[in-house]
Amino acid sequence: MALPTSPGETRALDAELAADGLKASTRQKVHIVFRSVVRLAVGAGMLAAVPAFPRIPRVGRKMVRPFHRDDLDAILVKAAPQARLAFALAAFAGLRAGEVRGLRWSDLDLKSNTLTVRRALTRGEATTPKSGDQRVIPIAGPLRLLLEAADSSRSSPWASVAITALGKSWGESGLNQAFKRAQRRAGRSGLCFHDLRHFFVTELFRKGIGAPTVQRLAGHAELSTTQRYADMTANDLRAAIALLGNGEATGEESN
């Protein structure tokens, strides 16, 4: 493929990337790398000058989609037992998919009722959690019941906590596929496995927990990431505004 050297050719490249289904964030990275290559080519004398590039595709701020407890309960009821435990780790402890795959029984202390997120498992490779730090999370009641039920069948302290029906670790797409199956059975749609973690964070805010505490529990490196979840859903906003009219004076004289 020839190197695009004009705004029109660059826009055509972006159109091709979009037609291939690449998201704006991915296309943005392609454009950034491409521009770096062009500047190197100019510096090496391979191009006369840096062309006038069009604007890099903008990446909008993602909205946290509403996910409430009744949705969660309906999905958990329809989930297979092994998948239910994985879902609960995300919904009641805020674990990311890689952290669910990386959790070992040795990371749990049922006596102190805590679990420690030490690693994430991505494409078979163990890495640190996304924030780079370990975190300790108290075990919520619904999650503890599922952990106690699974504890009796664990093979060793170093075995994975969340496993498939075949006793194997979940693959990269397995958790999301299992979630979508349970979601369909529950009559829900439009959600993905990561929305379970969204539920964890937004539910903490709904219960009045402060942002710094939520940040620590969720393992967000930046408080600004946590604060995004503080944006309440449309239903929560309407409920809040409705409270303004409950018995308060309007400032108008009554007849």
CA 16 distance to own-chain centroid: 28
Buried b (16+ CB within 10 A) or exposed e, 161-174: bbbbeeeeebeeeb
What pTM does this model have? 0.68
* Chain segment 136-176, per-residue pLDDT in tens: 999 999 999 999 999 877 878 899 999 999 988 898 889 99
Q: What span, in angstroms and rounded, lies between the C-alpha atoms of 90 and 193?
A: 8
* Chain segment 69-85, per-residue pLDDT in tens: 999 999 999 999 999 99
